[in-house]
Chain A
Amino acid sequence: MSDVPFKNPGWAGNTGEFDLSEDQVRGDDFVGERPKHGGHASGSATMPYMLAEKNPDAVLFEGEYKERFEKILTRYPDKQAALLPALSLAQELRGYVSPASMDRVAELLGLSPAYVRGVTTFYTMYNKRPVGRHLVQVCTNISCNLCGADDVLAAFLRYTDTELGETSEDGNFTVIEAECLAGCGFPTCVQINSRYFENVSPTEVPKIIEHLKAEGDS
């Protein structure tokens, strides 16, 4: 186990993805630019990030986000298909999907507000209320559970001083249980905002939390 588990705790090898630097993901001579905030042309601009920095009052959508939104529309045969990507974009920007965000997205896509609420509430990744700057999702499903996920969850709750699903007083952390994150061979698997932390054991939890606090926005 490496000394800096938050860099790459996983047995999956150093993919560098946790830092998201072009060089590490692609090798030294990568050319090309990743649009700010993770939007990407070929991904129909729909690759949102869960950012630590969030602005609940941001306008849907303007500037670079407007461009991404319009790009999304070109990738599908009809407007309705842009709903999930648009909601993800709204969440990236505002940190959660409020009823007001849903209504605005409905307006932009020519859908009824009721329909958009029905869809939004179906999917777990749309936060229906604000969450901490770092949303910690601990997988407690079977493979991780067999390897002690319950203890990892308990450690996160203890060291962030929160209750399950609640946000810590300093606004830094919300800790929730997650279903299988598809990292079962590298238990316990924890997703924090956009990043996967693999092979997390309870003893590493304080280090990860310190790292996140020190890192500031990611």
Chain B
Amino acid sequence: MAYPYVSDREVRVVSKHFGDPLQRRIDTYVERGGYKALAKALEVGPEDVVDIVKSSGLRGRGGAGFPTGVKWSFMPKDTNRPHYLLCNADESEPGTFKDRELIRWDPHQLIEGCLIGAHAIRAQHVYIYCRGEFFETTQVLARALEDAYAKGYVGENILGSGHTIDVTVHAGAGAYICGEETGLMNSLEGRRGLPRIKPPFPAAVGAFGMPSTINNVETLCAIPHIVTHGGEWYRQWGTEKSPGTKLFCVSGHVNKPGNYELALGFPLSELIEDVCGGVRNGNALKAVIPGGSSVPIINAEEVSRCSLDYEGCVAVGTMLGCASVIVMDETADIVKQVRRMADFYAHESCGQCTPCREGTTWTAKILRRIEDGRGTEEDLDTLMQTTQNMVGTTICVLSDSVAAPVQSSIVKFRDEYLALIRRGERVGAA
């Protein structure tokens, strides 16, 4: 037993060395087989790497779950213009805390993944965009990178292959929206982090106007393992459509919160009961948000039917997102928590689109009114309507993300809203 908590139900691939400070050292990393996948990738060439990743069925771990190999194959094959690989380490979705851990426990795993990814898309420069708050995390990564440069794994003529790939760590400055891929590109270019209208897609016009691909930290961390062992090996875990392992960030009212790496398709109720030691104080489970704050909330009954893969979550009306499981017991105040999330989105909306800019603010205000006992039943209809107008009408999906928790909580926990409204009416009348 080491790293905060571990469970024997886990399959630790990318998180294998969590809790071991030695892993940060390049010597240890190499001793344990590190940078062999890079050598293999350089040898077999971009096309084969893309094929291996395609065959593994690996899906992007940043939230959308798009197949990584397919995404890489969208990149143009020419090399007349620079290509860029962008690693998304802007982790700021409430409930998510895996990328920071991946970087600070195993920085070389990420660097190796970035190099292989860059080679696969014929990029000579990788930018790792770390959220600005990650001072120490970024230091660990920068130091690891320094060592990798010194040993010839990064930079010119990597391992004598004739290939040049540079890696730069770039620190953001505090804005959730820079995690959105085109917002990240604008931010990297020294602009406000405003998402761009698509198309053009990044593979055509991305960072600095050049073809770019963007991948999440966890996605890239899985790459060296897949390249070493092959696609079939990765498919031994997970389901047909959601192969492999995934880090689950469990937070909230469980006895043992933390990061757990599990095969996709793992039953949510077992994650809470077996892996995380159950709900704290033996309380009853009220609700779970299985994929970070941007996905619909589910109630205890739905939890019992939910399996943790992309399709399994959709089947119970929610999404896997970035697998950030937020657990709420019977004492949780749903209205307050939904209002807190709405506040977050109102704060983080970049303000380009009217439905999002106005919608997030009004949603937060109305929820606050209800929480304070000044709401009416009509407000619930207004909320449903307002949030409905925010879906599919904007440049990026931050706007849609507000609708998910608000609408699902009003539908599933209407009683709690009504109780606040009724109590307010009684106090008001007295």
Contact = CB atoms under 8 A, between A and B. Distances in A.
Interface in A29-63: 30, 32, 34, 38, 40-44, 46-50
B198 interface: no
Contact of B175 (A34, A38, A123): A123
Contacts of B172: 84, 123, 125
Nearest to B147: A32
A46 B143 contact: no
A191 B134 CA distance: 10
A83 B105 CA distance: 30
Interface residues of B, number: 82
Residue of B131, B133, B249 ringed by the most chain A CB atoms within 10 A = B133
Nearest to A179: B344
A85 B172 CA distance: 8
A83 B190 contact: yes
A185 B259 contact: yes
Given A125-B132, A147-B252, A142 B93 contact: no
Contacts of B139: 17, 20, 25, 34, 38, 40, 43, 47
Contacts of B2: 13
A41 B175 CA distance: 25
Contacts of B105: 15
Interface string B397-429: 000000000000000000000000000000000
Given A20-B139, A32-B146, A184-B96, A124 B175 contact: yes
A179 B94 contact: yes
Interface stretch (B18-26, B46-54, B236-244, B378-386): B18-26
Interface in A63-110: 75-78, 80-85, 87-88, 109
Contacts of A186: 4, 97, 257
A2 to B, nearest CB: 13
A141 B189 CA distance: 29
Given A85-B171, A88-B173, A146-B332, A11 B258 contact: yes
B143 A143 contact: no
Contact of B170 (A11, A17, A46): A46
- List of 9 A-B pairs having minimum Cβ-Cβ separation, nearest first: A125-B174, A43-B142, A83-B190, A123-B173, A11-B4, A143-B251, A42-B145, A124-B174, A194-B135
Given A12-B3, A46-B170, A194-B136, 10 more contacts: A27-B21, A38-B135, A81-B188, A142-B289, A142-B340, A146-B328, A183-B97, A185-B257, A186-B97, A195-B135
